[in-house]
Structure 1
Amino acid sequence: MREILFLAHRIPWPADRGDKIRSHHILKRLCEMAPVHVGTFADDDRDMGFAEAMDGLVASRHVELRSKPQWQAGIEGLLTGQPISVRSFASPSIQSWVNARIASGVVSHIFCFSGQMAQYVPMDFRGRFIMDFVDVDSAKFESYAGEGHSLMRWVNRREGRVLARFESEIAQRADASLLVSEAEAKLFQDRTGASTVMAMGNGIDTGFYDPDGQYNKLHPPFPDPLIVFTGQMDYRPNVEAVSDFAHHAMPMIRAQHPEATFAIVGRNPTQAVSDLSMLPGVQVTGAVDDVRTWLAAADVIVAPLRIARGIQNKVLEAMAMAKPVIASPAAAEGIDAEHGQHLFVEENIAAEAARVCALLAEPGSGLAIGQAARMHVIAHYGWRSQLALLDRLMGLVTDDPQ
Structure 2
Amino acid sequence: MRILLVSAGVPSPIGQIHLYNLLKVIGSNHDITLICFLDENSPFAAPPPEIVLTGGCTMVPFVRKNSLRKALRAITTWKPVALETYRSEDMARAITHTCSEHRFDVAIIEQLALGQYAPLVRHLPHVLFPVDAVSRLKAQRYQSTKNPLERLLRFLDYRATKAYERAVYRQFDGVMFVSRDDIRYTVDAGISDTATVYELPNGVDLTYFHPNAHNGQDERSIAFIGNMRNDINEHAVRWFYDHAWPTLHREVPDLRWYIVGNDPSARLRRYLERDPNIILTGYLEDFRPTIWNATLVISPLQMGAGIKNRVLQAMAMGKAIVASPLSVDGISAEHRKHLLVATNAGEFVRYTRLLIEDGRERLRLSREARRFVEDHHSLEGAASKLLHIVERVRRNVST
On whether the aligned pair clears a TM of 0.5, the verdict is yes
Specify whether residues 289 and 123 from structure 1 end up closer, same or farther in structure 2 by C-alpha distance, changes over 3 A only: closer
SS of the residue aligned with 1:208?
A: coil
Number of residue-to-residue matches in the alignment:
387
Quote the residue 1:16 is aligned against. 14
Aligned-residue offset at 1:322: 1.0
Higher mean C-alpha deviation, range 160-169 or range 42-51: 42-51
C-alpha separation in 2, matches of 1:316 and 1:197 = 23
Amino acid at match of 1:196: T
Q: Are 1:35 and 2:31 an aligned pair?
A: yes
Quote the residue 1:117 is aligned against. 114
C-alpha separation in 2, matches of 1:227 and 1:321 = 14
Specify whether residues 54 and 208 from structure 1 end up closer, same or farther in structure 2 by C-alpha distance, changes over 3 A only: closer
SS of the residue aligned with 1:372?
A: helix
Amino acid at match of 1:299: T
Amino acid at match of 2:274: M
**Partner residue of 2:105 out of 105, 108, 133:** 108
Quote the residue 2:397 is aligned against. none
Q: Are 1:272 and 2:267 an aligned pair?
A: yes
Q: Are 1:383 and 2:382 an aligned pair?
A: no
Aligned-residue offset at 1:248: 2.5
C-alpha separation in 1, matches of 2:29 and 2:253 = 55
Paired residues of 2:320 and 2:366 also in contact (CA < 8 A):
yes
Paired residues of 2:204 and 2:379 also in contact (CA < 8 A):
yes
Aligned-residue offset at 1:145: 1.8
C-alpha separation in 1, matches of 2:247 and 2:158 = 37
C-alpha separation in 1, matches of 2:22 and 2:117 = 19
C-alpha separation in 2, matches of 1:120 and 1:47 = 26
C-alpha separation in 2, matches of 1:200 and 1:102 = 26
Specify whether residues 218 and 392 from structure 1 end up closer, same or farther in structure 2 by C-alpha distance, changes over 3 A only: closer
Quote the residue 2:84 is aligned against. 87
Aligned-residue offset at 1:218: 11
Paired residues of 1:41 and 1:66 also in contact (CA < 8 A):
yes
Quote the residue 1:76 is aligned against. 73
C-alpha separation in 2, matches of 1:384 and 1:63 = 27
Cα RMSD of the aligned pairs, angstroms, is 2.4
Aligned-residue offset at 1:343: 0.4
C-alpha separation in 1, matches of 2:105 and 2:5 = 11
**Partner residue of 2:297 out of 301, 304, 319:** 301
C-alpha separation in 1, matches of 2:384 and 2:234 = 34
Higher mean C-alpha deviation, range 275-284 or range 309-318: 275-284
Quote the residue 2:142 is aligned against. 145
Aligned-residue offset at 1:338: 1.2
SS of the residue aligned with 1:387?
A: helix
Structure 2: tracts of 5 or more residues without a match: 393-399
Paired residues of 1:51 and 1:63 also in contact (CA < 8 A):
no
Aligned-residue offset at 1:230: 0.8
C-alpha separation in 2, matches of 1:8 and 1:130 = 12
SS of the residue aligned with 1:15?
A: coil
Higher mean C-alpha deviation, range 228-237 or range 150-159: 150-159
Paired residues of 1:203 and 1:381 also in contact (CA < 8 A):
yes
Specify whether residues 342 and 48 from structure 1 end up closer, same or farther in structure 2 by C-alpha distance, changes over 3 A only: closer
Specify whether residues 271 and 6 from structure 1 end up closer, same or farther in structure 2 by C-alpha distance, changes over 3 A only: same
Q: TM-score, normalised by structure 1?
A: 0.89
Aligned-residue offset at 1:50: 2.0
Amino acid at match of 2:288: R
Paired residues of 1:266 and 1:287 also in contact (CA < 8 A):
yes
Amino acid at match of 1:81: W
SS of the residue aligned with 1:121?
A: helix
Quote the residue 2:283 is aligned against. 287
SS of the residue aligned with 2:105?
A: strand
Q: Are 1:349 and 2:348 an aligned pair?
A: no
Quote the residue 1:254 is aligned against. 249
Aligned-residue offset at 1:33: 5.2
Quote the residue 1:339 is aligned against. 335
Specify whether residues 284 and 90 from structure 1 end up closer, same or farther in structure 2 by C-alpha distance, changes over 3 A only: same
SS of the residue aligned with 1:390?
A: helix
Specify whether residues 32 and 168 from structure 1 end up closer, same or farther in structure 2 by C-alpha distance, changes over 3 A only: farther
Amino acid at match of 2:197: V
Q: Are 1:225 and 2:215 an aligned pair?
A: no
C-alpha separation in 2, matches of 1:228 and 1:366 = 15
Quote the residue 2:161 is aligned against. 163
Quote the residue 2:206 is aligned against. 206
Aligned-residue offset at 1:382: 0.4
Higher mean C-alpha deviation, range 183-192 or range 301-310: 183-192
Quote the residue 1:400 is aligned against. none
Paired residues of 1:250 and 1:262 also in contact (CA < 8 A):
no
Q: Are 1:129 and 2:126 an aligned pair?
A: yes
- Give a deviation string over 1:158-187, Cα, whole Å, max 9, x none: 211111121112221222111111111111
Q: Are 1:50 and 2:50 an aligned pair?
A: no
C-alpha separation in 2, matches of 1:43 and 1:359 = 40
Aligned-residue offset at 1:116: 1.1
Specify whether residues 77 and 58 from structure 1 end up closer, same or farther in structure 2 by C-alpha distance, changes over 3 A only: farther
C-alpha separation in 2, matches of 1:321 and 1:253 = 24
> After superposition, where does 1:363-378 map in structure 2 within 5 Å?
363-378=359-374
Amino acid at match of 2:140: S
C-alpha separation in 1, matches of 2:51 and 2:351 = 47
Identity of aligned residues (%): 22
Aligned-residue offset at 1:339: 0.9
Q: Are 1:235 and 2:235 an aligned pair?
A: no
Specify whether residues 111 and 29 from structure 1 end up closer, same or farther in structure 2 by C-alpha distance, changes over 3 A only: farther
Aligned-residue offset at 1:299: 0.5
Q: TM-score, normalised by structure 2?
A: 0.90
> After superposition, where does 1:51-66 map in structure 2 within 5 Å?
51=47, 53=49, 57-66=53-62
